[in-house]
Structures are given as C-alpha cells and as structure tokens.
C-alpha cells in the first residue's frame, strides 16, 4: 500500500500517481506500524515452599491493565517534493492538444462526409441540368431533321449536292439520344460519367444539326435557283408568243417587269427572294395565258360565225355543217340513210389560217374521237381520194368542178 504524502490517501502498490490528487507516489510502500499486544507480566520462578512458612497476606486483587501498543517508529523517507508548475502546464498542454486533435479528427470526418454529400448534390444538379438540355435539344433538332428529310426527298438538285445531305442525315439517324438517367441515389463519380457522356453526345449532335442546316440551305438554294431559271424561260417564251394575242396588254407589261427583276436575283443567295420572284412569275404567266385565251375566244367566235355554213365532202357525198362555235355535224348524202354525225366541239385555239388560203381547226368527241378539219374556200379545188370506179365518183367530180362550192376535208 502506498500513502500519498500530499493528501494522505491510500493507493495500490501498482499506482504511480495518487488516485485522488494526482501526486506522484514513492516507489516503495510505506512501512505500516505494527500493533503491540498487551504486555504480559514476566514469569518468575516460584520459590520452593519452606515448610511451615508463615502465610503471607493476600495481595489485593487489581484488575490487569492493558498497556497500549507502542507505535512503531515511522519510517524515515524523504518528503515528497512540491508540485512542479512546469510539469502541470505540460500535462495541461498534452490534454488540450489531445482534445484539439480529437476535435479536428471529428471535424475532419464530418467535413469529409459533408464534402462527399456536397459533391454528390452538385454532380446530381449538373447531370440533371445537362440531361434536360439534351432532351430539349433532341426534340427541337428532330424537327430540323424531318425538314431536311423532306428537302432531300423533294429536291431536284444535282446528285453530288444531295449525296452530301443524305450522308449527314444518315449520321444524324445513327446518333440517338442515349438512354441515361440522373438518379438521386447514384454516387458523384457515376453521375459525372453520365454527365460527360451526355455532353459528348450533345457536342456531336450539335455538330450534325449545324451540318444539316448548312447542307439543307445549300440544297434549297440550288432548288430555288433551278425553279427561278425554269420559270424565267417559260415567261420569256410566253412574252414572245403572246405578242399581239392578248386581250389585255398590261399583263404582258407586268410579266416583262417581273422577268427583269428575277434576272437580277437568279445568281444570288437569297432563297426567299428567289422563291418570291418565282411565285410572282407563275402568277403573271397565268394572267397572260388567261388574257391570250380571252383574246383567242373572241377571235374564234368571230371566225366561227364567219365560217358557219354547209360544206361538201370531197371524199364522198356527205355534207358537213359548221356551227357558229366551229363544232361540226355531218349528214349522210344517201337519202335512204339520212344519218347525222356529231363530230364534237371545237378545240379552243386550234384554228390556224394557212398561207395558201386554207384554214384548219380541230374538234373532239367522245363518240367519234378527235378530227382535224381543213377548209377549202370557194374557187379552190379540194383534193379527193375517192375511187374513180365508185358510185359516188361522178357526183363528187361534179361538185369539185363547181367554183362556188366550199369543201371541208375531215382527217
């Protein structure tokens, strides 16, 4: 047992410091005082009894007294040195440092957990944002893809130009949006990998979309130029053919102005202006044609009125009747038959005057088909293919010899 010299507390022999006050204990245990038992009277020899000795008076009986034990002399040891302030301060620093280290370790662990959580949340937010943008871009650019497909299928551009657009369409079709998700229970590294894949897809997707727009613009420009050049040729040809044959001369003037404007646009790059010019030319061409039709109808009406009447058939004995609208009916020359043939209606604009004095026009009929009629005016002998041995030859020859008769040949 070790006794603390500072506070007097008992401590186990194994202790180095006092359990109560922390004072360093001596290396050897303190010597314990030994209790002294009651002193017993020393035994003395009993003298031999002398015969007939006179009895001694009895000594008064006193109770035996206990003599308190004498304390053992206290062991002599050097007094404990006074507490060292420097040592206390050192121990205090050790304790403080230990506490600080523990706090730092705990804070580090908490910080690491917080850092991982923050990183995961940032990665999740980044992934979610990139995925949303990718989905939006995919839907928007798919419209561009469909427009490019329509341009490709309807274009009349050259093969090389279309081939480039077709290749880009194939590449776009082979780059669908990957099926990726940004899940809240996914770690930061996996989310980052997903985000990187989405960004890589977006980069390639945007490149292809830009190529589609560029190549689609090129094809559209070729188509617009081709359409405008074709319409310019049609308009120029009509300007020549319609001179003097329109009911309204202002339609020709307007068409000429549109042609002059279109000539300045055809070699440019403004597809919108080209398409507008093509549309304007188309509308004006229709107006000129309508004006030509009106003029022709008026001319036809005047001619047909003048041509109306009966004509002999130089190929037989029939008679042809030209109506006021230039339609033709035929009567069989045989009274026994007396049939009427309706050869149909006049084909507008088919009338043509020949330099030899004859004139032609056409009729059409669902029953008798299409025919071309050639008119020989009075005084002009019409050709005849009738057989000289035919019964009708004599009558036909007589007709052909009359100078005042008009003939109509049906082809």
Q: Where are the domains of the chain?
A: 1-34, 121-218, 242-304, 308-410
- Give the per-residue pLDDT at 411: 77
pLDDT tens column, 315-371: 666 778 888 888 888 877 655 556 788 888 888 888 888 888 888 889 998 888 898
Q: How far is residue 349's CA from residue 351's CA, in Å, rounded to a whole number? A: 6
Q: What is the pLDDT averaged over residues 123-145?
A: 90
Q: Name beta bridge partners: 240.
A: none
Of 229, 223, 218, whose CA–CA distance to 266 is shortest?
Answer: 229
Of 406, 328, 315, 332, whose CA–CA distance to 369 is shortest?
Answer: 328
Average pLDDT, the chain: 79
Q: What is the pLDDT averaged over residues 60-72?
A: 49
Q: How far is residue 169's CA from residue 153's CA, in Å, rounded to a whole number? A: 12
Q: Specify the pairing of strand 319-322 against strand 328-331.
A: antiparallel
More confident residue, 74 or 181: 181
Q: How far is residue 220's CA from residue 94's CA, in Å, rounded to a whole number? A: 84
| pLDDT(294) > 60 | yes
Q: What is the pLDDT averaged over residues 306-321?
A: 78
pLDDT tens column, 152-188: 888 888 888 889 889 989 998 888 988 888 888 888 8
- Give the per-residue pLDDT at 225: 92
- Give the per-residue pLDDT at 264: 94
| pLDDT(382) > 80 | no
pTM beyond cutoff 0.95? no
Of 170, 169, 172, 152, whose CA–CA distance to 161 is shortest?
Answer: 152
pLDDT tens column, 238-284: 999 999 999 999 999 999 999 999 999 989 999 999 999 999 999 99
- Are the CB atoms for 399 and 405 separated by under 8 Å? yes
Q: How far is residue 47's CA from residue 45's CA, in Å, rounded to a whole number? A: 6
3-class secondary structure, 38: coil
- Give the per-residue pLDDT at 236: 95
User: For the chain, how are helix, strand and coil distributed in percent, rounded to 5?
Assistant: 50, 10, 40
Residues across the chain = 411
- Are the CB atoms for 372 and 388 separated by under 8 Å? no
- Give the per-residue pLDDT at 71: 55
């Amino acid at each position: 047992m070790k006794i603390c010299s500072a506070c007097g507390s008992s401590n186990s022999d194994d202790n180095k410091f006092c359990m109560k006050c922390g004072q360093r204990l001596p290396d050897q245990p303190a010597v314990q005082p030994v209790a002294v038992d009651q002193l017993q009277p020393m035994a003395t020899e009993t003298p031999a009894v002398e015969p007939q000795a006179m009895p001694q008076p009895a000594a008064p009986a006193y109770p035996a007294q206990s003599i308190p034990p004498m304390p053992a002399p206290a062991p002599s040891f050097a007094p404990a040195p006074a507490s060292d302030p420097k040592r206390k301060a050192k121990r205090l620093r050790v304790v403080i440092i230990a506490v600080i280290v523990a706090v730092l370790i705990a804070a580090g662990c908490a910080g690491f957990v917080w850092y991982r959580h923050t990183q995961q949340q940032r990665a999740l937010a980044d992934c979610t944002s990139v995925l949303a943008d990718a989905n939006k871009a995919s839907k928007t650019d798919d419209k561009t893809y469909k427009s490019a497909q329509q341009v490709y299928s309807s274009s009349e551009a050259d093969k090389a130009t279309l081939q480039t657009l077709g290749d880009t369409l194939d590449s776009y079709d082979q780059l669908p949006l990957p099926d990726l998700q940004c899940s809240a229970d996914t770690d930061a590294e996996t989310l980052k990998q997903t985000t990187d894949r989405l960004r890589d897809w977006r980069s390639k997707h945007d490149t292809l979309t830009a190529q589609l727009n560029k190549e689609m613009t090129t094809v559209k420009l070729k188509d617009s130029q081709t359409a405008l050049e074709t319409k310019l040729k049609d308009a120029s040809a009509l300007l020549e053919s319609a001179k003097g044959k329109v009911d309204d001369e202002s339609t020709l003037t307007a068409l000429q102005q549109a042609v002059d404007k279109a000539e300045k646009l055809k070699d440019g790059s403004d597809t919108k202006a080209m398409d507008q010019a093509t549309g304007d030319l188309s509308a004006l061409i229709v107006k000129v044609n309508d004006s030509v039709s009106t003029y022709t109808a008026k001319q036809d009406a005047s001619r047909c009125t003048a041509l109306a009447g009966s004509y002999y058939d130089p190929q037989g004995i029939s008679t042809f009747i030209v109506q006021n609208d230039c339609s033709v009916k035929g009567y069989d020359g045989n009274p026994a038959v007396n049939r009427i043939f309706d050869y149909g209606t006049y084909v507008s604009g088919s009338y043509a005057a020949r330099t030899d004095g004859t004139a032609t026009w056409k009729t059409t009929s669902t029953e008798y088909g299409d025919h071309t009629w050639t008119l020989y005016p009075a005084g002009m002998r019409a050709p005849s293919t009738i057989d000289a041995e035919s019964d009708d030859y004599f009558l036909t020859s007589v007709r052909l010899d009359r100078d005042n008769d008009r003939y109509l040949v049906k082809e």
